[in-house]
């Protein structure tokens, strides 16, 4: 298949493209390489994708484009006929949205509209996009299920992700565009984002610097390993026979581990692997943060007969191994 992956220099996008190229698909990647975090890390990911494509003699195209630029995006759709669109490009970061909300409107709403509208007009068979666990917001009832209330987002980032789901439903309802939204729960692993907890904790502990811990480490997160996120994303993207022809072709799935842990325990695992005791700066819960995220992802597990085996110790060790090889050698 020929697949468009937006945000392909990002953490999840990179791993999705890597898997697609390894299995033999043609990949067209888009990314604006914005400076929200280390651009060199993004470029390193792109270099690996280029090497994999060359080694396996697979077609891989990369375009440095901002998805809010409709004219340039339209040229890509005109030039390529896509079997799938996996839309991952977005302005990331919950806390960043508190100070820079306008960036999220441009990327997460205008950009999303551009991609889904073109996917519809060019008759792409299936449009898959990244939503977020943050849409559950102030809902106190856990674990979160797909049918749980999502009417009270805690920040603009979550609000834009909720709006993506609403736009997707309208396109599915009006134009019969098959859409699947994926609510990712705290994805981690090698090549992860520098603004995420595992990356920041590892970096500062190794440098003997204090780590910043909000809510005194008492909040919990449904940490989900990148390999599971990639496998489930591609299962959801590939198999479109599960859409009921008599119903609106719109799906939402949680992608989580179903096994949340407290941040303090997560830090202890990092300390154990590094064999270094963390020095901590404790703070109260930051504005906009959710106290806990706890996924019930049984829907997607059952739909695609997927068994998730969560081993945070082994998976954190894989990240730390990558981090040391990439930054300390």
Query: CA–CA separation, 157 vs 288, rounded Å?
Result: 10
List 36, 96, 136, 157, catalytic entry: 157
C-alpha to C-alpha distance for 112 and 85, rounded to whole angstroms: 12
Q: Between β-strands 224-225 and 179-184, what pairing exists: parallel, antiparallel or unpaired?
A: unpaired
Q: For residue 237, what are the contacts with CB-CB under 8 A and spacing of at least 6? A: 3, 84, 86, 126, 128, 180
| Host H or E run for residue 74 | helix 70-79
CA 49 – CA 17 distance, rounded (Å): 7
Neighbours of 107 (CB within 10 A): 22
Handedness of CA 300, 306, 312, 316 (dihedral sign): negative
Q: How many CA atoms lie within 13 A of 64 on its CB side?
A: 6
Q: Which residues, other chains included, contact 118 with Cβ-Cβ below 8 Å and sequence gap of 6+?
A: 73, 74, 77
CA distance 258 to 308: 9
**247 Cβ neighbours under 8 A, 6+ residues apart:** none
Give the tokens for residue 305: 């007969």
Rounded distance, CA 88 to CA 82, Å? 16
Active site residue 157: yes
Residues marked as catalytic: 157
């Amino acid at each position: 298949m020929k697949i468009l992956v937006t945000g392909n220099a990002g953490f999840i996008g990179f791993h999705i493209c890597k898997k697609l190229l390894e299995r033999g698909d043609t990949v067209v990647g888009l990314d604006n390489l914005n400076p929200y975090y280390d651009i060199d890390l993004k470029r390193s990911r792109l270099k690996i994708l280029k090497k994999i494509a060359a080694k396996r003699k697979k077609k891989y195209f990369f375009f440095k484009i901002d998805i809010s630029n409709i004219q340039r995006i339209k040229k890509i759709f005109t030039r390529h006929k896509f079997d799938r669109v996996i839309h991952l490009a977005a302005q990331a970061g919950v806390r960043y949205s508190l100070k820079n909300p306008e960036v999220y409107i441009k990327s997460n709403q205008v950009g999303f509209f551009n991609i889904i509208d073109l996917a519809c007009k060019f008759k792409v068979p299936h449009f898959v996009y990244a939503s977020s666990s943050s849409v559950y917001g102030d809902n106190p009832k856990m674990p979160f299920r797909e049918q749980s209330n999502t009417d009270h987002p805690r920040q603009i980032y979550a609000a834009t992700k909720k709006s993506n789901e609403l736009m997707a439903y309208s396109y599915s309802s009006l134009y019969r565009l098959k859409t699947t939204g994926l609510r990712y729960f705290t994805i981690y692993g090698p090549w992860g984002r520098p603004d995420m907890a595992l990356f920041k904790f590892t970096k500062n502990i190794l440098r003997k610097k204090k780590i910043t811990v909000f809510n005194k480490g008492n909040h919990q997160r449904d940490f989900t390993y990148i390999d599971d996120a990639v496998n489930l994303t591609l299962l959801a993207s590939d198999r479109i026979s599960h859409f009921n022809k008599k119903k609106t072709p719109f799906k939402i799935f949680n992608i989580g581990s179903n096994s949340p842990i407290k941040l303090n325990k997560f830090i202890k695992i990092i300390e154990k692997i590094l064999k270094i005791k963390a020095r901590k700066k404790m703070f109260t819960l930051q504005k906009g943060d959710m106290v806990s995220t706890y996924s019930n992802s049984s829907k997607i597990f059952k739909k695609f007969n997927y068994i998730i085996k969560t081993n945070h110790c082994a998976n954190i060790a894989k990240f730390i191994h990558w981090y040391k090889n990439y930054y300390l050698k």
